[in-house]
Amino acid sequence: MKIYQKYIVYSYLKNFFIIFLSLEFFYVGIDAITNYAKFPESANLKLLYVVFKILDAINYAMPLSIIFAMIVTKLSMLKSNELVVLYSCGLSKKSVIKPIFLTSIFLTFIYIILNFTPFVYAYEYSLNLLKYNTISKTSSRLFLKNDNQYIYFQNLEPLKKQARGIKIFYIRDGDLTKIVSAKSGYFKQDYWVLKDVKIEYKPKIIGIDSKGLEIVYKDRIEALKNFKPKIIENVHKGKFKMPIGDTWEAIKFFAAQNLNLDRLKTLLVSQILIPFFAPLLVLIFYFYLPASSRFLNATLYSSFFIFITLVLWGLLFVLTKLSSTSVIFPEVGVVLPMIILGLFALYKYHKEN
């Protein structure tokens, strides 16, 4: 890396972390003031709540900081005439924006990698702490379909991967063939291990001499392959995000059930594609900012680009919500806008000499 590139990256990252930490403290501070009366009584839970809100704030602070840091970096370089010096040395606009753009891409990849981890549960956990004084609440009375099975959970604790009051109804050709009842169970590796199991075999009645109802008791059995607790809860409630890996598994799992997958597909593509809106705006905004400080109004330019950023981000948020509720297709609501934004950024980059 050349000296001027190191300096540009250093200036950009310095502004990024200043803005990022400021947005984090602002978000968490406003939330603490708003919800202070609902805080858990335990000091440990209060601290845990603040930690989860800090993690949740990354979803908002990271993309905004990536964009705002570029604006601040270029405006400060314009005011100090550093940018004019770089241009005077024969560097093009593309040469100056390249290290900033690559750094923003690197930061975006870090954010996407975070979406593969339980980091995405931060908002849900903080909400549970406010409402129930616990990280993960127990879900009750869940009824789901899996292939030729209908599954009922009286109580499900997704964080502990445990459940109570489990019933599995097996259907063949529209007829009930077997009912598996278990007092409790837990998810281990790829299967649910059911304990204190009662199996009721319902025979097909042909005549008066047909075999009657058969009941078998077992200490434990394995059932419901790949029926992960967190996937069950999130798909059933349809409110919160899941890690990218779990979202992909949920899509494969429920695709066989002929269920509407718009929410899951929207969640997957939005977690992978939407974060790139920040580096794309970095590239676009850079070429619209002036190259000289002679007629520069820093306040006006900053306000304008911040306004455009928030409008575009809000538009993407609305399109994502419309896609998740099947009002429009995810390909139209999420993928198409990102392709248009990417093509426009590519056009602006190649247009510059």
**What's the pLDDT tens digit per position in 327-347?**
888 888 889 999 999 999 999
- Whether the pLDDT of residue 165 is over 80: the answer is yes
Q: What angle do CA 156, 267, 142 make, to 5 degrees?
A: 20
Q: How confident is the model at residue 191 (pLDDT cuts 50, 70, 90)?
A: confident
Confidence (pLDDT) at 16: 96
Q: d(Cα 122, Cα 138) in Å, to the nearest integer?
A: 17
Q: Is residue 246 in a domain?
A: no
- For residues 143 and 110, state if they share a domain: no
68-82, 291-305, 334-348: which has the minimum mean pLDDT?
291-305
Cα 331 to the center of its chain, rounded Å: 17
- For residues 93 and 187, state if they share a domain: no
- For residues 113 and 181, state if they share a domain: no
Query: What is the extent of the structural domain holding 45?
Result: 3-117+266-351
Encoded amino acid at 33, one letter: I
Task: Extract the tokens encoding 336.
Answer: 């198409």
Confidence (pLDDT) at 205: 64
- For residues 35 and 103, state if they share a domain: yes
Cα 117 to the center of its chain, rounded Å: 10
Higher pLDDT, 256 or 196: 196
- Whether the pLDDT of residue 8 is over 80: the answer is yes
Q: How confident is the model at residue 107 (pLDDT cuts 50, 70, 90)?
A: very high
Confidence (pLDDT) at 160: 74
- For residues 34 and 107, state if they share a domain: yes
Confidence (pLDDT) at 353: 59
Over range 39-61, report the average pLDDT.
Answer: 89
Task: Extract the tokens encoding 47.
Answer: 């601290």
Q: Please provide the average confidence, as pLDDT, over all residues in the chain.
A: 84
**What whole-number percentage of the chain has pLDDT above 70?**
90
Q: How confident is the model at residue 67 (pLDDT cuts 50, 70, 90)?
A: very high
CB 2 within 8 A of CB 92: no
Nearest to 271 by CA among 228, 324, 344: 324
Q: How confident is the model at residue 28 (pLDDT cuts 50, 70, 90)?
A: very high
Instruction: Match 């000289």 to its residue by tokens.
Output: 292
Q: Which residues contact 332 (CB under 8 A, 6 or more apart)?
A: 323
Question: Which of 195, 222, 237 is at the close of a domain?
Answer: 237
Tell me 334's DSSP state: I
CB 170 within 8 A of CB 180: yes
Over range 292-312, report the average pLDDT.
Answer: 80
- For residues 142 and 227, state if they share a domain: yes
Question: Which of 237, 256, 286 is at the close of a domain?
Answer: 237
Over range 302-315, report the average pLDDT.
Answer: 89
Q: Is residue 255 in a domain?
A: no
Q: Which residues contact 200 (CB under 8 A, 6 or more apart)?
A: 178, 179, 180, 181, 213, 214, 215
* DSSP letters spanning 101-142: HHHHHHHHHHHHHHTTSGGGGHHHHHHHHHHHSSSSPPEEEE
Over range 85-94, report the average pLDDT.
Answer: 82
- For residues 198 and 157, state if they share a domain: yes
H helices of 115-243, where?
122-132, 229-237
Q: Is residue 244 in a domain?
A: no
- For residues 110 and 32, state if they share a domain: yes
Instruction: Match 């930061």 to its residue by tokens.
Output: 107
Tell me 56's DSSP state: H
Confidence (pLDDT) at 293: 63
- For residues 168 and 109, state if they share a domain: no
138-152, 169-183, 315-329: which has the minimum mean pLDDT?
138-152
Q: Dihedral (C-alpha) 319, 302, 344, 111: value to the nearest 10 degrees?
A: -60
- For residues 159 and 230, state if they share a domain: yes
| Number of compact structural domains in the chain | 2
Nearest to 201 by CA among 235, 174, 176: 176
131 φψ region: left (φ > 0), alpha (ψ -120 to 50), beta (else) = alpha
pLDDT in tens, 220-257: 888 887 777 766 666 555 566 788 887 887 787 777 66
Q: Is residue 259 in a domain?
A: no
- For residues 325 and 229, state if they share a domain: no
Q: d(Cα 50, Cα 31) in Å, to the nearest integer?
A: 9
Q: d(Cα 247, Cα 112) in Å, to the nearest integer?
A: 14
- State the pTM of this model: 0.81
